[in-house]
Amino acid sequence: MTTGPGVRLDHSGPVATVTLSRPDVLNAQTPDMWRALSDFSRNLPGEVRVVVVRGEGRAFSAGLDLSVANASGPGSFAELATLPEQECADRIAAFQAAFTWLHRPDIISVAAVQGHAIGAGFQLALACDLRVLAEDARLSMAEVTLGLVPDLAGTGRLVDLVGYARALEICATGRRMDAAEADRLGLATLVVPTAELDGAVRDLTAALLANSRDAVVEIKALLAGAARRTPEQQQRAEREAQVRRLRDLAGTGE
């Protein structure tokens, strides 16, 4: 087990579990937690194929810890606002890295979401490839209520999942949606009774591990890039991926 401030990484064979571990504040996030998450990505064992992200206690994450953001120390709004423009942008880029590693092509990431997933919590769930929601999940892109924008790599993912118009409505209003609506909009891979969340995540993880790692990696790359390719480019990508798989299975690949 690897621990950081408010977060820990457990690893068992091909499965790693990232747990936000500040249940007393509904797993509100801090810059120190984001730095620890980035460190986890650099130290992830090569055998890991699935990363599960979850929150300890009754919430996934209530978002940014405002007691830190509204203070005057490192990572606070006040401190960031005083930095030169490029330095401030670079600091935010480092925060984003805590989320974007979950897009890595060699893993599939699964968010196990119960209770609140607000602001940074919603963006952390969006950073994952798949989302299993408990029936009590409540999601909101609440940054606008603070006069801010979502800046943790969540906007593009949201548009990919629900389209521009719905993403604009969700982000510009900051409203909350329940698990049933999230499911209708395509944000949920599964919605299950709250008591069944852990079992559903285990079953999904087992299904993801049941097939060839190399085939799954190729499939993820094909699907992740499909929206940005022309039909001809996508068909070429399929052909090239299949040639690699055939040669590998025949023992004639590089």
Query: Could you report the per-residue pLDDT of 72-105, keeping only the tens digit for each?
Result: 777 788 889 899 999 999 999 999 999 999 999 9
pLDDT given at position 75: 72
Active site residues: 143
- Write out the H or E segment, with its range, that includes residue 215: helix 213-226
Mean pLDDT value of segment 29-51: 94
Residue 69 in this model has a pLDDT that exceeds 90: no
Give the residue among 38, 142, 55 at the shortest CA–CA distance from 91: 38
- Rounded mean pLDDT of the chain? 95
- What does DSSP assign to residue 140? E
Residue 93 is encoded by which pair of tokens? 């880029």
Residue 61 is classified by DSSP as B
pTM of the entire predicted model: 0.95
Q: Is the pLDDT of residue 239 over 80?
A: yes
**What is the percentage of the chain residues whose pLDDT exceeds 70?**
99
Average pLDDT rounded to a whole number, residues 218-226: 96
